[in-house]
A and B are shown apart, each in its own frame.
Chain A
């Protein structure tokens, strides 16, 4: 039975010259777990907003065609009725939480729609979302992942038949991301909800979703079962979506003759999408399991420390009760020229560590040395020349009304010679020349990131700190950020990135530091860290799929890239 039917839907935002949705038609079955994929700006969010009546009732624009929810035309229904049928969790979910405490927010919508058992409903939703222990907490006490669950609970409390989530796990570490998807799975299977997610993490799509819908330029291309959809690697990559790594590997091996063409007549049917399928496909053709490449020699040559944490203890000011300790007797050295990835679950102390380096937080005891001088003695403005930080939220870096002014600001006030020329170069380097007069806030996600990076390196600092530089980005933009990081060579040698993005870690980092509740629980190369199952479980690190694939096949050396993986299928079979 279909729960959603969209017929020939065309929608144009007021003032836009092109329609965002063009003749979109689709039928979604009741009880489906559907992923909507497509590149940035292809109309995914717009499509979802037609389902809960925001379009056309709240956002006015040009709408042709019809949307039926459970047989009712959305044009003829009140927005309130529709909102009770289709719940929506925004990508910037924090802004949809409007009440100060957890229980109030969860039951807010039920109260507004005058349901007498509103508190019960809120409690029940919190229970399903695993927040029952937080019922009396204030919203600001929750972590990012918990806030997301609260936003979900607030929506689920109305018990809508359809739940729509816009990029639910973009900002979460793998453990919290699993948490969200497990809740969604339960809602889907146990409570029979139809779940729709806008998602570009294909490993989650394979694991949890039933069907996938590809949206391209405002038109629905197809709806296919999840695994089948993931095999359409070319189409996916054409829309800036990373297909599962094993699928790409298999495809490239087919093209390169490493897998025989014979049994794989129909590529679409045979490409593996997860490790299990991969084992079946790859195992017969594995040539060797031994070290195909020489083990990457570990640099043991001690580097000159550029940042030195000496027995640092940090406490936060508590609103109530004892001040919580973030770091207790924390010691760590960061060498000149190191490329460090800082890993750890949300709230493990990554941001605190960065803020300590910037001298933004003063340690309770101990000190942080920057080039041998304690940061506490250096004036902030001088620190800014040595070390620079790009926030997770680029909006907070835009303090002027155009990105050109933002980039040149630091140089201008320091009277750097030729600052205009240097600004031009930076704009050129980050491909922002055409956008230079726009306000940073109005740019797209990827452009905003590029601009914030340009601002961050304008003073050519020795150390650059990046907080989650690839969160919320599609693959094209992520590749761009990676390229930018490569470009930094020569200008800024020491880079520290706090991230959950293991792809980025594998491609870029030389040293991994794993933080867990204020302690360094592991510090080493990616080979060492990923092999350490204890650490992996403790922090919920999830290496890229290709690494697990290699392990499953029994390859001795870890594979971090598809090329490395393919190396084991080359040459003579020796065993």
Chain B
């Protein structure tokens, strides 16, 4: 038992989290989804993120659910994100669904819950596919095309660049705390709680030096941005045009759109037939 809990604790280290985040952000840039045109995917998301709320047919929702589950799989999403998704859906409605099953709920109570769960699941999976599967830089360009301000798209792209740096620094600061600190003993239930509280406090405290260090390094970044013409690019519409010139709708995009349409139509058909 001790081995097991240690094993789990070992997995949930900051290093693991860092790896998962990196995997999610940078590890799936060669998937089918990542290669799609971001504008197409954003429109696609507009449909799959909105329409399910207005549907109330189990078969139809189930069809759409299977489809977004497949796209999520195609986008090779990191396990951690999927895990969080499951927790999310379960805490929203899933637990009610199970409770209803156990305490003699009949179809009348279960079906609405199932519908609700499916809706949440479809929308969440569609979001994961688009926002996690697409590389943030392309996502930013897609949003720029739809008229989001340049600052926003730059922020996304910059966050994408700076994320690994921040993660590593945070890890090191946390280590400073761990190596120099003296946590309470883990014996007994009270001890375990105290230990956990100590760990949480440490994580929170580690943000303070992280922010100061970031502030320090941003001095160079701000100057460098100025030198490298960032302000210039925001004011010049020509730059935006050049940036967006690389967005191209390819055959893969058309195929993806066709499959989506056919699948949704088929789901409609199935729900009407049943």
Contact = CB atoms under 8 A, between A and B. Distances in A.
Interface string A383-402: 11000110101011111000
Interface string A90-121: 10101111111100100011011110101000
Contacts of B209: 395-396, 398-399
B149 to A, nearest CB: 16
- Most chain A CB atoms below 10 A, which of B180, B205, B220: B180
Nearest to A91: B220
A95 B162 CA distance: 9
Nearest to B215: A441
Interface string A127-139: 0000000000011
Interface stretch (B40-48, B53-61, B117-125, B231-239): B231-239
Given A100-B160, A317-B15, A399 B177 contact: yes
Interface string B22-45: 110011000000000000000000
Contact of A114 (B22, B220, B242): B242
Interface residues of A, number: 59
A317 B212 CA distance: 29
- Most chain A CB atoms below 10 A, which of B227, B238, B242, B243: B227
A477 B21 CA distance: 39
Given A317-B15, A398-B209, A409-B180, A97 B27 contact: no
Given A100-B160, A319-B22, A114 B182 contact: no
B176 interface: yes
A395 B213 contact: yes
B228 A79 contact: no
Contacts of B172: 391, 393, 396
Interface string B221-256: 101111111101100101100110000000000000
Nearest to B224: A96
Q: Do most interface residues of chain B lie in helix, strand or loop, or is the interface mixed?
A: helix
A116 B232 CA distance: 15
Interface residues of B, number: 54
Given A396-B169, A396-B213, A95 B221 contact: yes
A90 B176 contact: no
Given A95-B217, A396-B213, A79 B227 contact: yes
A329 B173 CA distance: 30
A439 interface: yes
Given A113-B229, A389-B179, A398-B209, 14 more contacts: A58-B223, A90-B223, A95-B218, A95-B224, A98-B224, A111-B233, A118-B242, A138-B26, A381-B183, A384-B180, A393-B172, A399-B208, A441-B212, A441-B216
30 contacts: A52-B227, A59-B223, A80-B232, A88-B227, A90-B223, A95-B224, A98-B221, A100-B137, A100-B157, A108-B228, A113-B229, A140-B26, A140-B165, A317-B15, A319-B22, A380-B178, A381-B181, A384-B180, A395-B209, A395-B216, A396-B172, A396-B176, A399-B176, A399-B208, A409-B180, A413-B180, A414-B182, A441-B216, A455-B180, A459-B180
